[in-house]
Amino acid sequence: MSAALRTAGLSKRFGGLSAVSDVSLEIPQGARHALIGPNGAGKTTLINLLTGVLEPSAGDVFLGGERITALPQHLRVKKGLTRTFQINTLFPGLTVLESVVLAILERKGLAARWMRPVSSHRAEIGEATELLATFKLDRDAQRRTAELAYGRQRLVEIALALATRPKILLLDEPAAGIPSSESVEVLGVIAALPADVTVLFIEHDMGLVFRFAERITVLVAGRVLMEGTPEEVARNDEVKAVYLGREAHG
């Protein structure tokens, strides 16, 4: 069986700078895979290449065996490849409920319709309400997203992605900017996802990475330094030197 998500020789140059060089990954279905590396290692650029925000300079992206290198962003989402953003990328003026209902309407292909008001789409509103309840966001459903505290907005960020019912979920530092007590909660929701959903996540907090990841890819200066189980990564001297060492020096 082909991998859920695969890249072959993926590269991205910005002018003279190689942000991502020759990255070949293979993520099997249902994986809980972490992508780590120091700042500027090209992690977010890689996510942007996988999701179609950026066009690669070279290489290909495959989704379940299908080459999607040239597919626009929104069509990749339709195929089940969804991401979240490192910095909250939400709809500040929409209510939390409206935002999630919008994502559900898009998934169901109903968002271009204009004959019936949104308020009469009871199934979609019901689904959104249920989803918000799993994030304990139900009491904020009717509030404008901008009115929520950053940590609560972080949950909306992930709820929006889940509303698309992803087969593969790419999480760009899901716990960034929230206290560690709450970050466990955020990752807990992700850990509770159905086992067949593939999760690839970027995270700086090593505690979270070692807790949730089954496999880890270490990216340094745009290249894959190594890939392995958390134990293998923890034991690797190169990783210690380049990544953990730097972390220790702070």
For other proteins, the binding residue among 1, 15, 116, 250 (CB under 8 A) is 116
Binding region for other proteins (CB under 8 A) out of 79-87, 173-181, 225-233, 240-248: 79-87
Q: Within 10 A of 182 (CB to CB), how many other CB atoms are there?
A: 15
Q: How near is the Cβ of 94 to other proteins at its closest, in Å? A: 6
Across the beta sheet with 32-36, the strand order is 81-83, 168-172, 198-202, 32-36, 215-220, 223-228
**Angle (CA) 176 177 182, round 5°:** 85
- Which residue from 222, 250, 221, 216 is spatially nearest to 235, judged by alpha carbons? 216
Q: Does 32 bind other proteins (CB under 8 A)?
A: no
For other proteins, the binding residue among 82, 183, 198, 217 (CB under 8 A) is 82
- Residues 236, 225: Cα–Cα separation, whole Å: 10
- Which residue from 19, 22, 85, 27 is spatially nearest to 216, judged by alpha carbons? 27
**For residues 187-246, which are near other proteins according to CB under 8 A?**
none
Nearest CB to other proteins, comparing residues 51 and 198: 51
- Residues 1, 12: Cα–Cα separation, whole Å: 28
- Residues 230, 222: Cα–Cα separation, whole Å: 20
**For residues 45-74, which are near other proteins according to CB under 8 A?**
51-52, 72-74
Q: Does 167 bind other proteins (CB under 8 A)?
A: no
Contact 63, 81 (CB under 8 A): yes
For other proteins, the binding residue among 85, 135, 212, 243 (CB under 8 A) is 85
Nearest CB to other proteins, comparing residues 48 and 236: 48
Nearest CB to other proteins, comparing residues 35 and 77: 77
For other proteins, the binding residue among 5, 50, 148, 161 (CB under 8 A) is 161
> Where along the sequence are the contacts to other proteins (CB under 8 A)?
51-52, 72-74, 77-78, 82-83, 85, 89-94, 98-99, 101-103, 105-107, 110-119, 121, 160-161, 163-164
